Amino acid sequence: MGEEKNVLTREHAKAHDATDAFARYREEFYLQPEVIYLDGNSLGLMSKRAELKVAELMDSWKTLAIEGWTKGKYPWFFLSEKLGAMCAPLVGALEDEVIVSGSTTSNIHQLIATFYKPEGKRTKILADELTFPSDIYALQSQIKLRGYNPDEELLRVKSRDGKFLAEEDIIVAMTDEVALIFLPTVLYRSGQLLDIKRLTAEANARGICIGFDACHSIGAIPHHFSEWGVDFGVWCNYKYLNGGPGSVAGLYVNKKHFGIYPGLAGWYSSKKDKQFDMEHTLDVELSAGAFQIGTPHVLSLAPILGSFELFAEAGIEQIRQKSLKITQFLSDLVEQELEGLGFSIGNPQEDDRRGGHICLEHEEAIRICKALIENRIIPDNRPPNIIRLAPVAFYTSYEEIWDTVQVLKTIVKEKQYEKYSKERNVVS
């Protein structure tokens, strides 16, 4: 017979909190009284350091005016590069392989426009059917701009169960007709972490350019993009990285591609020392900076400075260990406390396959989420049946996880959800 699991209690949660090295970081964030925030995989909380950096950058505008571009504590002209260097350890890249610029979707357009080079029989882009819609829209758009039909040239690897992708299926689809591969690092619904190293090696062996959307992994999971040979990557900075709503995004380009002409060239694609020569011939920057298009959004970059300081202090490997431990605690509690109430866990259970959030499935997910919010617990809903719960290493406590599961049990047992509409909110 198998060994029985110990029954988890609130005291276990308190014991974990008492030894949690990240407990001290809770005071770095604006946690609202009596609110449990489990939506950091959609929008991270504001840190006090982020607020401070915004004030500092506002002050530089106030006191330096145009001289702020080259003077002050954070000269604006070089701010995207500075942030790129701070972000590089989070994706396992060299400092000049990362730039903080644009938005996720504009960066997808930039890098697909750069690396999608259909020629001969190699005309297809390989993606998957479970990826975020914005990625598909951008890929379809780029295919159309090349004069091709997206229905024919965009291949989407099918999921065997509607939740996960099998790396074997992706590899089989890497045919000699594929010009470029673009995949998520972590699936936004189920939280499945793909084997990025293996997929990259298989693409490299076939001479196919491969890139990743790391929106749902950066800041929660360590990566080694440069070492693995990933060609390019994109991500947002407002989820686990706590950069603020609409925060400036980031991109990575492997150094082997430095000097390539950007698909969408702009003033900031230029070498920094040549930019103000005002020539009509672009002297392309030999770094990821070449893939900037326009002037950096200085005031929107400011919060990321404070956030990246916290990541440098904590370390991404340590963040991952806390994330794995607390998401496992949540999974174990769901299994123990919510049995027979219609819940099931829809994400991988293995540590090397699980991202930073728990995918909780229930046929009444939409209404349960509304009831959670009324109980001052902030979840995330993905229709029709997914409740996403993201314990964030920096600011989520184990006792909050215990309380959340108890509230979920009460909501379903007392049928509190029945007073809500089954229609999803405009933003879910």
> Is 225 a known ligand-binding residue?
no
N- to C-terminal Cα distance for the chain?
43
Q: How far apart are CA 361 and CA 370, in angstroms?
A: 15
H or E segment and range at residue 180: strand 178-184
69 is in an annotated binding site: no
Residue 200 marked in a binding site: no
Angle at 249 between CA 259 and CA 376, to 5 degrees: 165
Q: How many residues does the chain have?
A: 428
Look at strands 377-378 and 36-37 and give their pairing: parallel
Query: Is 188 annotated as a binding-site member?
Result: no
Q: Kind and range of the H or E element at 336?
A: helix 316-337
Binding site annotation covers 357? no
214 token code pair: 């790391």
Q: Which of 110, 127, 230 is nearest to 169 (CA)?
A: 127
Is 351 annotated as belonging to a binding site?
Answer: no
Residue 343 marked ligand-binding? no
> CA–CA separation, 97 vs 286, rounded Å?
10
Nearest to 226 by CA among 287, 296, 309: 287
- Preceding omega of 384 cis (within 30 degrees of 0): yes
Are 361 and 346 in contact by the 8 Å Cβ rule? The answer is yes
Q: 402: annotated binding-site residue?
A: no
The answer to whether 344 and 408 are in contact (CB under 8 A) is no
Cβ atoms of 392 and 336 closer than 8 Å: no
Residue 410 marked as a ligand binder? no
Question: If residue 199 lies in a helix (H) or strand (E), which one and from where to where?
Answer: helix 196-205
Residue 105 annotated as lining a ligand binding site = yes
Is 258 labelled a binding residue? no
Which residues are annotated binding-site positions for pyridoxal 5'-phosphate?
104-105, 132-135, 213, 216, 238, 267, 295
Which residues are annotated binding-site positions?
104-105, 132-135, 213, 216, 238, 267, 295
